[in-house]
Chains A and B, each alone.
Chain A
Amino acid sequence: MPEDLNWAIGGEAGDGIDSTGKIFAQALSRAGRHVFTSKDFASRIRGGYTAYKVRTSVDRVESVVDRLDILIALTERTIHENEDELHEDSVIIYDGERSTMQDVEVPGDATALEVPLKRLAEDAGGAIMLNVVALGAACEVTGFPIENLDESLQKRFGDKGEAIVENNKEAARKGQEYVREEYDEDFDYDMETTDNDYVLLNGDEAIGMGAIAAGCRFYAGYPITPATDVMEYMTGRVDQFGGKVVQAEDELSAINMALGAARAGARAMTATSGPGIDLMTETFGLVATSETPLVICDVMRSGPSTGMPTKQEQGDLNMTLYGGHGEIPRFVVAPTTVSECFWKTVEAFNLAEKYQTPVFLVSDLAMAVTEQTFAPETFDMDEVEIDRGKVVDENDIDAWLDEKGRFQAHFAAADGVSPRAFPGTTDGAHMTTGLEHDELGRRTEDTDVRIEQVDKRQRKVETAREQEDFDYREFGDSDADTLVISWGSNEGALREGLTLLEEDGYDVRFISVPYIFPRPDLTEEIEAAEDVIVVECNATGQFADIIEHDVLERVQRINKYNGVRFKADELATEIKQTLDTPAEATQ
């Protein structure tokens, strides 16, 4: 048998698939086993097909595979949907007494266990517990100690009273006993437990937790799949630390509220998914031009338009990288694992405040809904560092006042980063705007000031390139001729894929890139490789495009952005100067 076990429960939305799966995943996690979950779900509240899948092992698991060992099928469709993943040792648990399941044909050589789930649940106190009966049956098949399930049931139903918990424990035992008594088979599964303590959480929860740890106190958002979990996580929890979540009337409002809160000095965030990012785009430029620190999280799903709201895609990269009219200095950070969702969120807040500009935190559906086990110290809060950047207060604001005593909120500092005074700071009153402005924040159309402010804002990116460590993560054989590059949630699947390739004699170097902009320079790595493959969940290869662009020999450029069109004599002069300057000097 393989070291890991793949388990699933499937049925219709509304059947309690999610909570049952979660109960099982938590039981495994508490039993010291690693867990990696995934979901198949449709964009509907009731009906349709939905499944919760759990991959578990005593070793770390970081991806899903095409193999299903135990399947709890609440509907016949569940079996068909997963047919390709079943094998000769697979076990299917279903209620053969249900009218819709009486003629079920189990595909291939898989073992079918007919368990009267509903009847046994009723015996234990209520038909509603039929899923738990199935969990008990699964415990018997897999040799998983049912006591671990008890703890998980306690956690799930504790709020509803001890009687409910006891009934559920009883339901699980009825399932276990039924299989033990009716099926005298030696199921070839043995689920070892360990003494390890793990926590189990998904990418959205990790982002929310990271935000609170990083001092985020204001969150405004609008519900949208698959970003809603971030908002739901923060609701109630951020309040305990003096913060607030506001459900806005739309995404335009959400990002503007977050902007207002950030302007008032709070660490603020909004999160959304593709269609919501479209609406927020209007405000990207305002965030950048007013030099407001803001974390904007995009948990991607299949687009364009409303696309497939419950399916995976990494199609918004260009949107976060280029979205918004005009030119917007920004950072785009894309966590590659669930735990990195936590750490990159912390980093996003620091980047936002250090450089006073929007930071896009790009995650995706696969990461958002995947629950994974971690040692708690993976999220060691003592390691969280906060850097608020150049905040000035009453004591040092004098250095930033002009000769008339006015605060220079957009001072054209050499590193591109101006001082920042939270409202309420004495002598710090200042205006800021999305209009081009001078150092005091006042509107201007002066061509020199325009250039000064554009350059100043763009310098932040250069400063960050120098000061920050926008590095990649590397796996596999660093001398291999084949280089695979990826970003976002593909990392886990690629790492496991790499070991499969190694078994087949392929040497591969794998680079996982968590920083989209600024990003690590991969020129050397690409030039050293014979084959370069970029892996991403989209149709056009958005990241491949920018990587290709990076390694092209650079064209020389003439740029003008003071608000005035090109003039003939000016262009002739510029071109002459460009031609007379060695190309490398202009790079």
Chain B
Amino acid sequence: MSSDVRFTDFKSDKQPTWCPGCGDFGTMNGMMKALAETGNDPDNTFIVAGIGCSGKIGTYMHSYALHGVHGRALPVGIGVKMANPDLEVMVSGGDGDGYSIGAGHFIHAVRRNVDMSYVVMDNRIYGLTKGQASPTSREDFETSTSPEGPNQPPVNPKALALASGATFIAQSFSSNAQRHAEIVQQAVEHDGFGFVNVYSPCVTFNDVDTYDYFRDAIVDLDETDHDPSNRDQAKDKILESDKEYMGVLYQDEDSVPFEEREGVEGSMAEIPDGAPEGAMDLVREFY
């Protein structure tokens, strides 16, 4: 049945309330394409989102979905996947959601390496609260709460991920539809935590990190001799602060997902009508 699934099956009939031209449209389309391409359908897919413009995605997509609280989407996704490894779990967040309030969870989700994908819509600004600095905002980016710029360097989420033991790190650009969908697809197909930072421009509040800026700045790793299996190469690329790369920066082909290492087999949803067989042994242990 999966082969009949088209990416539009993942679309809900709710019209997005994102601003016209928002990068999140492209990001979402890529997510839907990736899910369909990898043979998933809405009934076996679980989308988790946090708060902010990115958080709205569960409403515009059609699948099982949970829209949670600010910064906590990753733990929810981990819980879903651990409880039912047969589900395809995709978590969506923004740069504020993921790298500020949720930064602690990000590091631990990366090192836990549960088999799910994490797509971050990085627009380098807080959009839904109308234009404050985000963790990825440039040091001199002037906003309503940082009139002279945040005056602190932006977070480098890919470096954080690499340092935390990531098994898949990619970067994408929402406006390059084909490449973006391919990159997310690779994240979905990766056996472990597939992290994709997506440049997803905010056309309303960010007049620096615009489509034009990214189009000019971006270098497609496929057009370089980058070897994603080489962690040192990945590290060098990730730490180049003046470069914007698109593609898979790092992938550990030998990655074994956490739930597999932990021996989780199948869904935890099915339980017996009463106490499980052998439960009296639990009591006898206390003799």
Contacts and interface: CB of A to CB of B under 8 A. Distances in A.
B82 A263 contact: no
Interface stretch (A249-257, A308-316, A446-454): A249-257
A382 interface: yes
A30 interface: yes
A428 interface: yes
A253 B108 contact: yes
B43 A263 contact: no
A266 B14 CA distance: 29
Interface stretch (B195-203, B209-217, B218-226, B276-284): B276-284
A260 B274 contact: no
A243 B108 contact: no
Contact of B272 (A209, A248, A386, A442): A386
A27 to B, nearest CB: 12
Interface in B49-88: 56, 58-59, 62-69, 72, 74-84, 86-87
A119 interface: no
Nearest to A249: B108
Contacts of A412: none
A244 B268 CA distance: 9
A212 B68 contact: no
B93 to A, nearest CB: 13
A434 interface: yes
Given A286-B68, A430-B64, A432-B67, A265 B108 contact: no
Nearest to B286: A199
A486 to B, nearest CB: 27
Interface stretch (A67-75, A213-221, A490-498): A213-221
B233 interface: no
Interface string A22-51: 000000011000000000000000000000
Given A209-B283, A212-B276, A431-B12, A257 B76 contact: yes
Interface stretch (A124-132, A137-145, A417-425, A508-516): A417-425
B283 A199 contact: yes
Contact of A260 (B66, B69, B108, B269): B66
Given A213-B275, A252-B72, A424 B43 contact: yes
Contacts of A201: 286
Contact of A424 (B87, B279, B286, B287): B87
A242 B265 contact: yes
A268 B75 CA distance: 14
Contact of B64 (A266, A283, A428): A428
B82 A261 contact: yes
B263 A257 contact: no
Given A386-B272, A424-B267, A434-B69, A260 B79 contact: yes
A265 B269 contact: yes
B76 A249 contact: no
B262 interface: yes
A434 B76 CA distance: 13
B147 interface: no
Contacts of A388: 271
A83 interface: no
B171 to A, nearest CB: 25
B284 to A, nearest CB: 7
B268 A217 contact: yes
Given A199-B284, A424-B84, A434-B67, A261 B265 contact: no
Contacts of B64: 263, 423-424, 428-430
